[in-house]
Amino acid sequence: MLKVTFRITLTFVIILFLLTVVRINDNENVIPKFIINKLDNIQDKIMLLKEEISHEEKNEIGELIINKIGLAEKLYALGSNENNVNKHVTILKESIFPDEENSIVFIAAHSGTGRLAYFKDLNKLKEEDEIILKYKDKKYYYKVESVWEEAKNGFIEVTKENAKQLILTTCSPTNEELQLIVNCIAYKEV
């Protein structure tokens, strides 16, 4: 009991310390890298333990695979707690799934650093790069048609094309004022 009380106290002390540092500098870069990495490692291990609890409860519906940037992440149903940008890559509610007519799937994820920064390398995608979306026992193959950045204002503007479409979006890794958008067009399904 004493150990638990001690752990909680120590945790709050560390938080207060860090908040103080941030308030002074208002810049997370002042936090030593080794601390960030250490915390990330700890966080990852705990997260992995938590994920083992039950996949079924998370309503897994598919997977996003981008080999070029080494991404293979599960997708969760709209409305599921796991379909959250702070947990996984996230399907936005405007999406029309690939087994439907005029399909357009919007997927967002974090860029930057850390375990949740699934789209940290999204800006490395070029035209013709391949993206695979597994959904309902089918694989939908997309090719990158265009990549662009637009002003970050909480919205993205995309034109629906005459094909199954996949839109990947994240914050620009190079400019905080911009939103990165990758427009992909399906070319086959298996």
Partner 1 sequence: MKKIWFFLTIILTLVFIPNIKVKANSYSFYMAERIDGVYYNMYDPATGRLHYQRGMFFRERTTNAFAYCIEPFRVFFDDSTYTEFNPDKLTVEQKNKISAIAHFGYGYKNHTDPKWYAVAQFLIWQVANPEGDYYFTSYLNGPRITLFTEEIKEINKLVNDYFSLPAIANKDYYIVDGSNLVITDENMLIDNFSTLASNVKIENNQVIISNSKIGNNEIYFERKENTYNKPIIFYQSATSQNLVDTGDIPNVKFKINLHVDTTSVNIIKVDKDTKKLIPSGDASLDGAIYELYDANMKKIATITIKDNRAYLKNLNYGTYYLKEIKAGQGYTVNNELIKFNISYDNKDVNLTVLNEVIKSKIKISKKYGSNDNFLPEENITFNIYDKDNKLVKTIVTSVDGVVEVILPYGKYTLKQVNTTDGYTINDPVEFEVLDGKEINFEFKDYKIEVPDTKTNFIKRLILFFIYILC
Asked if 30 interacts with partner 1 (CB under 8 A), we say no
From 10, 112, 126, 187, residue interacting with partner 1 (rule: CB under 8 A): 112
Kindly state the smallest distance separating residue 190's Cβ from partner 1, in Å: 26
> Considering just the CA atoms, what is the radius of gyration of the chain in Å?
19
Asked if 28 interacts with partner 1 (CB under 8 A), we say yes
Asked if 96 interacts with partner 1 (CB under 8 A), we say yes
Kindly state the smallest distance separating residue 47's Cβ from partner 1, in Å: 8
Q: DSSP secondary structure string, 89-148?
A: -EE-TT-B-TTSTT-EEEEE---SSSTT-TTTTGGG--TT-EEEEEETTEEEEEEEEEEE
Our CB check for partner 1 shows the closer of 93 and 188 to be: 93
Asked if 108 interacts with partner 1 (CB under 8 A), we say yes
Asked if 166 interacts with partner 1 (CB under 8 A), we say no
Kindly state the smallest distance separating residue 49's Cβ from partner 1, in Å: 11
- Residue 2, phi then psi, degrees to nearest 5: -65, -40
Neighbours of 67 (CB within 10 A): 11
Long-range contacts of 73-82 (CB under 8 A, 24+ apart): 73/109, 73/118, 75/107, 75/133, 75/134, 75/135, 82/58
Our CB check for partner 1 shows the closer of 104 and 184 to be: 104
- Say if CB 65 and CB 132 are below 8 A apart: yes
- Say if CB 143 and CB 128 are below 8 A apart: yes
Beta bridge partners of residue 103, listed in sequence order:
none
Stretches 53-61, 62-70, 84-92, 125-133: which one binds partner 1 (CB under 8 A)?
Answer: 84-92
Q: Which of 117, 46, 65 is nearest to 88 (CA)?
A: 117
Stretches 56-64, 71-79, 109-117, 134-142: which one binds partner 1 (CB under 8 A)?
Answer: 109-117
Residues that bind partner 1 (CB under 8 A): 8, 11, 15, 18-19, 22, 28, 31, 36, 39, 43, 46, 50, 85-86, 90, 92-94, 96, 102, 104, 106, 108-114, 116-117, 119, 154-160, 162, 169-171, 176, 179
